[in-house]
Each structure stands twice: as structure tokens, then as C-alpha cells.
Amino acid sequence: MTVSQSAPSLSTTIAGISLETCIYNASGPLCATEEELDVIGKSAAGAILSKSATLEYREGNPQPRYYETSWGSINSMGLPNEGFEYYANYAPKAAAHGKPYIISVSGMGYDDNTKMIEALADNENVAAIELNLSCPNIPGKPQAGYDFEQSRTLLEKVFEVVRLPLGVKLPPYFDIPHFEMMADVLNSFPISFATCINSIGNGLVIDTEKECVVIRPKQGFGGIGGDFAKPTALANVRKFYTLLKDDVDIIGVGGIKNGMDAFEHILCGAGALQIGTQFMREGADCFARIANELQDIMRQKGYSSIDEFKGKLKDMGE
């Protein structure tokens, strides 16, 4: 008798919300309009995450503001979005796709953030909020996540009004004391998840033929995503997995373009994965492809669920 082997499960739970599959879109690429969100809804993505919303509509930075390279991307979009209400109003349509809808919020100050988060309190079709502490592209505005006291103050205000599960989107950190300082801030609040990492801020890509930068805003400086972001993303996933309270889920994003990249993120501790640059490059087919590749790897290794290897990265001892 042959025993039929069921496919390895990619299901996961983030912020107490069940996802049929742990792979979905990163906030940023192709998630700013209803049409784009519907494409994600119809795809194999495990959730629908919106572009970071501000209180009002924003045009964003001047074009060209996104550039793809062989190894990834640089962007200085400048938070172009339809305004918070648009994403709140999309919630029933997202629910019709049968998968959790998460709204990314990126207010221009404390009050904007609390207003948006308060307004979402009773939206039963929104599963969670991802508070963006890390947009690198607003001229003259530092990334909140690099200012630990500002982050603490913002979270104090936010947790006075929030009713939905709330997580934070973090910038990449590079220094061990900085990981510890941010973990100390986050561990003071009942956050549900931490998404690691946003793009690596203020890189520079050059067109050597033209001897010119490749994007217009900020003299060509922009956030780096793709292959080069992966080692930094893995380090951030790993560090926050070990430093944050046990009930905080880690969502990995940065350089995931195939099943093995996804496997590495989970090994470091990610309970869900977001795809940014590769989604922009390939479109929504990337979710099913990466999921299938991850399942193949799990089959080869004898894993039937992601919990069997999540966070189980070994080190080599001292």
C-alpha cells in the first residue's frame, strides 16, 4: 500500500491571525490601489498588506523614483498613497478575498498616526496594523526607528488608542547595542509582531555611462532592496527573534526571491515572509512560485510544517 504524502503546510499564525500560507506582499510595491490590492487578493499570497498610508493623499516624490538592478532595487517613492480612508474603505473588499487584510500606517507625526489608528479601532475587516517606523525617503524627516526615544513616545501614544493587533515595521539595524535598545523599547509594549526589515536607507546606484544617479529625488539617494538586503535582513530577523518577548511574531522581509531565501528567513525565526523587490519584478505569480519552492525544500528535509524549523538556526559555539 502506498501512503499518500500530503504537501508540507505553510500555514502560520501572526498576531493571533491564521494565514493559510506564510508568504505575502511587503508594503510598498504594487499595493497602493484597489486594482493592485485585488491582484494580491486573487493570488496565492497569504494576506493582503496595503501601501503605507498617511492621513491625506500624497503624490510622493518626483519620477523616476524606482530603479531595478540585476541585484535588486533602489527607491525613493516618498510615500505616494491614496490616503488612509481609501485603505480603510477597501477592507470589505479585502475580506471578500478570504484572506487577512493588514493596513500599513505611516503618519507624518504622532497625531496623524494616532488619528489613523483610532479610526481603525472598530473596522472588523482589518486584521492588524503594521506601523511603519522606517520610511527612509521623506526629505528632512529622519526614520523614527533610528530615534529610540521618539519610537517609545510614539508607541506610548499609539497604545492609548489601538484596539487591533499592532506590529511595527523596523529599519535595518547594524550595531548590537542598537538592536538591544530597540528591543528594550518594543518589549515595553504589547506589540504583536515586528517586521524586519525596511529597505536599507540612503544607498546610491550609479549609471556609469551617463555618470549620473538613477533616481531623481534626494540627489539619487534611496532605499536598497533585493539581494544585497538579505544578509542584513536575516541578521535583523535573528536578533529580534532572540531579543523580543516570546509572544511577538517576527515577519521576515529582505532579499526573498526563491524558496531557499524563504527557508533561511524562517530558520532565523520568521513566522511569515513578505516579498518586495521580487514581487515588483515578477508580479503576483511570485507568491505561488516561492511557496512551491519552499515546500520542495521542506519535503527534501522531511519537514511538514514551518514550526518544525522556525528559529532553529544553529551557531557554531564560542
Binding ligand RRO by CB under 6 A: which of 21, 25, 50, 75?
A: 75
Q: At what angle do helices 148-161 and 176-186 cross, to 10 degrees?
A: 20
Rg of the chain, C-alpha, whole Å: 19
User: Which residue in this structure is represented by grid cell 538579505?
Assistant: 230
- To the query of whether residue 188 is one of the catalytic residues in this protein, the response is no
Q: Compute the distance between CA of residue 234 and CA of residue 145 in angstroms, rounded to an integer.
A: 18
Percent of the chain as helix, strand, coil, to the nearest 5: 35, 20, 40
Binding ligand RRO by CB under 6 A: which of 123, 134, 151, 232?
A: 134
Candidates 66, 62, 64; CA nearest to 74 is 66
Supply the DSSP symbol for 156.
Answer: H
Binding piece for ligand RRO, criterion CB under 6 A, among 11-19, 83-91, 110-118, 128-136: 128-136
Minimum distance from residue 50 beta carbon to ligand RRO (Å): 11
Q: Compute the distance between CA of residue 294 and CA of residue 180 in angstroms, rounded to an integer.
A: 31
Complex with ligand RRO: residue 43 or 54, whichever CB lies closer: 54
Is residue 168 part of the contact set for ligand RRO (CB under 6 A)? no
Minimum distance from residue 215 beta carbon to ligand RRO (Å): 10
By CB under 6 A, the residues from 287 to 316 that bind ligand RRO are none
Is residue 223 part of the contact set for ligand RRO (CB under 6 A)? yes
For the window 18-57, what string marks contact with ligand RRO as x by the rule CB under 6 A?
Answer: ----------x-----------------------x-----
Cell numbers given for 183: 528591543
- To the query of whether residue 135 is one of the catalytic residues in this protein, the response is yes
Active-site residue identified among 135, 196, 268, 286: 135
Candidates 27, 33, 32; CA nearest to 45 is 27
**What is the contact surface with ligand RRO in residues (CB under 6 A)?**
28, 52, 75-79, 106, 132, 134-137, 198-199, 223
Active site residues: 134-135
